[in-house]
Amino acid sequence: MKAEDIKAAALSCPFCRAFTVIESTTSTNDDLLKESRDGAPDGRVLIADQQLGGRGRVGRTWSSPAGVNLYMSVLLRPELEDVAALTPLALVAGLAVAESARATAGVDAQVKWPNDVLIKGRKVAGILMEAAEGRSGRPALVIGIGLNVNQPTFPEELADIATSLTIETGRSFSRSLVAAGLLSRLHARVSQAFEDGIEPVLDEWTALSSTIGRRVRPQDCPEGTALSVDTSGALVVRDDSGEVHRVIAGLIDEL
Ligand code: BTN
């Protein structure tokens, strides 16, 4: 995977302005969080061939073997003062990953609230969004994306819940092209969310969602039917007594 190849494939994508591909690191999110403290610019992108301490949501690890998958992080410094307005960007990122997997590999990728990407119920990508060091009173965030591209198999404990583009299609993919397609899509969707507001993007998220309309079991509220996502990115769930709950964070099971 070479930075020149990714840039050549995504020439018009502004996320290719300050761009680095490295062989190995602990975690691309950790690196960009540190760079944000040193003043790294909006749109800075870091991609690693391997992570030795890849991190997932809720304190989990993210398996990041060398040479097969995509591990990338993007630093955003939006022209906003309202930190809460950034929360739904995690859903926006999930949508962009699902759309680019569909376009690149022809797979039926779906988004599971809040931001997992699934193919036939197995996870092909995950997103870890973290607050970074802002400037002049403005927030900043790092969006970290792990996408399983050419991984041929998974260890026994993951085999039933994880998948890759290769497992789903029987083909292998140029990770540079996958990265270029993903960065372009991410830029398009993030820009749309900032320019036109979040609602149109959430409509697209809902159309690709495995969650909406399903029975779900959230961690911190009763089981029920997932009705929608609201503009803050929360999942709206109606329990069996008819009471409506807003789930704002954590994990859910789709039943
Ligand atoms: C999850 O589903 O739990 C989120 C996984 C996020 C993994 C990516 S890989 C690139 C970036 N660096 C990390 O350490 N984590 C994210």
For residue 83, pLDDT beyond 90: no
| Predicted pLDDT at 9 | 67
| Predicted pLDDT at 5 | 77
- Report the separation in Å between the CA atom of 221 and the middle of ligand 1, taken as the mean of its atom positions: 26
| Predicted pLDDT at 136 | 85
- Report the separation in Å between the CA atom of 244 and the middle of ligand 1, taken as the mean of its atom positions: 31
Band (10; pLDDT cuts 50, 70, 90): low
Minimal CA–CA distance to 239: which of 252, 221, 255, 251? 221
Least confident of 50-54, 98-102, 197-201: 197-201
- Report the separation in Å between the CA atom of 140 and the middle of ligand 1, taken as the mean of its atom positions: 18
The answer to whether the CB of 71 is under 6 A from ligand 1 is: yes
For residue 75, pLDDT beyond 70: yes
For residue 11, pLDDT beyond 70: no
- Report the separation in Å between the CA atom of 217 and the middle of ligand 1, taken as the mean of its atom positions: 23
The answer to whether the CB of 78 is under 6 A from ligand 1 is: no
Q: pLDDT for 121-161, tens place per residue?
A: 999 999 999 999 999 888 999 999 999 999 999 999 999 99
The answer to whether the CB of 150 is under 6 A from ligand 1 is: no
Band (79; pLDDT cuts 50, 70, 90): confident
The answer to whether the CB of 93 is under 6 A from ligand 1 is: no
The answer to whether the CB of 187 is under 6 A from ligand 1 is: no
Mean pLDDT estimate for the chain? 93
